[in-house]
A and B are shown apart, each in its own frame.
Chain A
Amino acid sequence: MPSTRDIRRRIKSVKNIQQITKAMKMVAAARLRRAQERANASRPYTEKIREMLAEVAGNARDSVHPLLAVRDGEKTAYLIVGADKGLAGAYTSNLIREVLPHVQGKDGVHLLTVGRKARDYFKRRGYTLDQEYTGFSEKPTHQHAVDIAREVAGAYADGTYDEVYLVYTQFFSPINQKPTLIRLLPVETSGSQEGDQPRDYIFEPSAEEVLALLLPKYLETVVYGALLQAAASELGSRMTAMGSATENAEELISKLVLNYNKVRQANITREISEIVGGAEALK
C-alpha cells in the first residue's frame, strides 16, 4: 500500500505531464491552422500547373523528355516524407507500414527520407539512405521542395533510378489522415484531356521547349504539395494524440485522488482506533 506522500507525489507528476501535453496540443493546433492556410494558398498554383501540363503534353505528344521516359529497370527509389519529432500518435508508424511491403527484402531499393523519425527508423534497420532531409517537416517552404525535386529529377535523368515513388500522409482532417504512395517519376501526362475540346495554343518557342521547362516545375509542385500535406497531417496527428493524452492524464489524476482520499481516511480511522484502544487500556 503506497503512503499518502507517494500518491501525492504521483499526482503532482501526472499534473506536470498533463500541462505539457496540453501545451503541445495548443501549439500543434495553432501550427495546424497555419499549415492548412498554406496548403490552401498553394492550391491555385498547383491546379494551374497541372492544367498547363496536360495541355502542353497533349500538344507535344511525341516529344521525348528525360523525365517522361519509361524504363523497365529494377532501381526503384522511394521518397518518404515523415516527421522530425515524435509524440504524434501513430503518424510515423502508419507511414512506415505503408512503405515496408515495398522495400522489405528487395534489391535495388533506394530510400530518400524527409524528417528525423523516418531516417532513424530505416537507419537503425540497416537500410542505406541515398539522401536525407531533416529540420523542416513541420514548416516546409517551396525552396525545400525545389531542392528535393532537383535532386530526384537529376538522379532519374542520369539513370540512377528507374522509377521514383513518393510516400506521404494525406490530410483529410485532424483525426483522419491516410498514408499514400504515388508514382513521381516517370511523370504521367496521359490525363483525360480527350473529353474536353483542346484549345489552340501558341507555344513560345515550341511545345517541346515549354514542356521541358514545365516538367521540373510540375515535379516541384507535387513534392511541395506532399510536404504541405505531410506537415498538416503531422500536426493534426500530434494534436489528436496530445488531446487524448491530456484526457488520459485527467482520468489518471481523478483515480489517484480517489485512492489518496481512501488511504488518508484509512489512516485517520486507524489512528482513532489506536487512540481509543490506548484509552481503553488505561482504564
Chain B
Amino acid sequence: MANKIRLDVVTPERMVYSDDVNMVIARATDGDIGILPGHAPLVAGLQVWPLRVLKDEGEMQIAICGGFIEVHPEKVTVLAACAELSEEINVERAEAAKERAESRLKEPTADIDVERAEAALRRAVMRLRIAEHGRFQ
C-alpha cells in the first residue's frame, strides 16, 4: 500500500517490532521528526524518548532508550540499545529504578556517576509514561 511505511525496531537482543505503519514520530537529538511514507533518506540520533507510531487502529508508543533512526522512502529502521512495547514494561522495576536514581541524584556522593543516574532516571520516567499512556488510543 502506498500510504504505509515499514517500521523495524531492532535491539542487540531481539527484533522488537516490525510492521507497516502510517507515520512515525521520533525525538531526534535536535528535535522531533515525523516520518511519513516516501520520506527522503535520513540518519539521525535518538534521545531517550517514546517513539510514537501511528497506525490505522490508532497510536501506540514504544520505549526507546537512545539509538539511531535510519529512514529510506519505504522503510524506517530504529536501532536502539533497548526498546520495549508498553505491555512489556515492568512497572514495579521502573518505579524502583526511578526512586533509586532520584535518591542518588538528591545526595550525590563521590562514587556516584551523576550522568549515569540521570540517564537511568530518564529511562525510568519514560517507561512509566508509556506503561500508563502507551497503549492504543
Q: Is the CB of B43 within 8 A of A203?
A: yes
Nearest CB in chain B to that of A204: its residue? B44
Q: Bound complex: CA of A220 vs CA of B43, how far in Å?
A: 19
Q: Bound complex: CA of A49 vs CA of B11, how far in Å?
A: 11
Interface string of B33-70 (1 = CB under 8 A from A): 10000001111110000000000000000000001101
Q: Say if the beta carbon of A157 comes within 8 Å of chain B.
A: no
Given A203-B43, A203-B44, check contact A48 B10 (CB 8 Å).
yes
Q: Is the CB of B79 within 8 A of A48?
A: yes
Residue in A45, A202, A203, A213 whose beta carbon sits within 8 Å of that of B12 in the complex: A45
Contact surface of B with A, Cβ cutoff 8 Å: 8, 10-15, 28-30, 33, 40-45, 67-68, 70, 77, 79, 81-82
Q: Bound complex: CA of A142 vs CA of B67, how far in Å?
A: 14
Residue in A44, A56, A146, A209 whose beta carbon sits within 8 Å of that of B29 in the complex: A209
Q: Is the CB of A202 within 8 A of B79?
A: no
Given A209-B45, A217-B68, check contact A204 B30 (CB 8 Å).
yes
Q: Say if the beta carbon of A205 comes within 8 Å of chain B.
A: yes
Q: List 16 A-B contacts (CB under 8 A).
A: A38-B13, A44-B8, A44-B10, A45-B10, A46-B12, A48-B70, A49-B79, A52-B68, A199-B41, A203-B44, A204-B30, A204-B43, A209-B29, A210-B68, A213-B68, A214-B68
Chain B residues, CB < 8 A from A220: 12, 81
Nearest CB in chain B to that of A203: its residue? B43
Q: Bound complex: CA of A20 vs CA of B101, how far in Å?
A: 45
Q: Bound complex: CA of A280 vs CA of B14, how far in Å?
A: 86
Q: Say if the beta carbon of A42 comes within 8 Å of chain B.
A: yes
Residue in A41, A55, A146 whose beta carbon sits within 8 Å of that of B81 in the complex: A146
Could you tell me the distance in whole angstroms from the C-beta of A251 to the nearest C-beta in chain B?
43
Contact surface of A with B, Cβ cutoff 8 Å: 38, 41-42, 44-46, 48-49, 52, 55-56, 141-142, 145-146, 199-205, 209-210, 213-214, 217, 220-221, 224
Q: Is the CB of B43 within 8 A of A142?
A: no
Nearest CB in chain A to that of B80: its residue? A45
Could you tell me the distance in whole angstroms from the C-beta of A65 to the nearest C-beta in chain B?
14
| Interface of A (DSSP majority class) | helix
Q: Bound complex: CA of A271 vs CA of B14, how far in Å?
A: 72
Nearest CB in chain A to that of B42: its residue? A202
Residue in B12, B30, B41, B77 whose beta carbon sits within 8 Å of that of A142 in the complex: B12
Q: Is the CB of B29 within 8 A of A217?
A: no
Given A56-B43, A213-B68, A217-B81, check contact A204 B28 (CB 8 Å).
yes
Chain B residues, CB < 8 A from A45: 10-12, 79
Q: Bound complex: CA of A221 vs CA of B12, how far in Å?
A: 7
Chain A residues, CB < 8 A from B77: 48
Chain B residues, CB < 8 A from A214: 45, 68
Q: Bound complex: CA of A44 vs CA of B70, how far in Å?
A: 14
Q: Bound complex: CA of A224 vs CA of B8, how far in Å?
A: 21
Could you tell me the distance in whole angstroms from the C-beta of B119 to the nearest C-beta in chain A?
12
Chain B residues, CB < 8 A from A141: 13
Q: Is the CB of A42 within 8 A of B28?
A: no
Q: Bound complex: CA of A141 vs CA of B11, how far in Å?
A: 12
